[in-house]
Amino acid sequence: MLQLRPVEEDESAAESLQLNRAVLNDDYLLLAELLSKESYRKCINQQSGWGIPCTPLRMAASKGHLRCLQLLLAHGADVDRLDVKAQTPLFTAVCGRYISCVLALLRAGANPNGSHLNNSSPVLTAAREGDPDILRQLLQHGAEVNARSKCRLVIRRHLTQVDKIKCLDSLEIPPRLINYLKHKPLNSALVY
């Protein structure tokens, strides 16, 4: 059954789509022009787009478009807004290995642990990708290594891959946890 939507809803969806297009094209100047209008600022946290709908901030984080990301944050974009897969903008920036976006989001107050609704976390992803710089930043901003058992398992797996993460000792992971992960059988790391 066809349902009519209010005209304001259609306009808001169109404006949200324009914001996402500007971010997708990394068109910082167009984004600034759009955000100078109240009607666009009102839909800054609205999800739109094809495939997986997302907010402009998530789009900027997932593409590594730092200037757009900073502009969206300056105009009040929700730093921890979840997408349909329970991913935060920080999580997508970590996945893309965009350290400048990761730092901007953390400085803006993003939760370094991501969302508890997601099966993964920024720490888990950084460890899996073998990115010590991002992992270090997450830990320095309060990310919990013990937040999920999967994190401990992945870190344990990477303890043996010295070529992937050479500076594990400098990551400030509690020594007791490192010692535990080095010496416990794989099964206990899964359930602990």
Mind listing the pLDDT tens digit for each residue in 129-166?
A: 888 899 999 999 999 876 554 555 556 565 555 445 45
- How many CB atoms lie under 10 A from the CB of residue 148? 19
The answer to whether residues 74 and 91 belong to one domain is: no
Among 19, 51, 78, identify where a domain stops.
78
**Residue 185 predicted with pLDDT over 50:** no
Are both 56 and 94 inside the same structural domain? no
Question: Among residues 23, 47, 78, which one ends one of the domains?
Answer: 78
Question: Do residues 97 and 143 both lie within one domain?
Answer: yes
Classify residue 31: in a domain, yes or no. Answer: yes
The better pLDDT of the pair 29, 16 is held by 29
Give the domain CATH number at 51: 1.25.40.20
Distances (CA, A) of 174 to 5, 58, 167, 179: 54, 31, 14, 9
Q: Which of 78, 100, 128 delimits the end of a domain? A: 78
| Residues 97 and 182 occupy one common structural domain | yes
CB 181 within 8 A of CB 149: no
Other C-beta atoms lying within 10 Å of the C-beta of residue 153: 18
90 and 74 within one domain: no
- Tell me the pLDDT tens digit for each residue of 75-133: 999 999 999 888 999 999 999 999 999 999 999 999 999 998 887 889 888 888 888 89
Q: What is the pLDDT of residue 65?
A: 99
- State pTM to two decimals: 0.75
| Domain containing residue 32 | 9-78
Domain count, the chain: 2
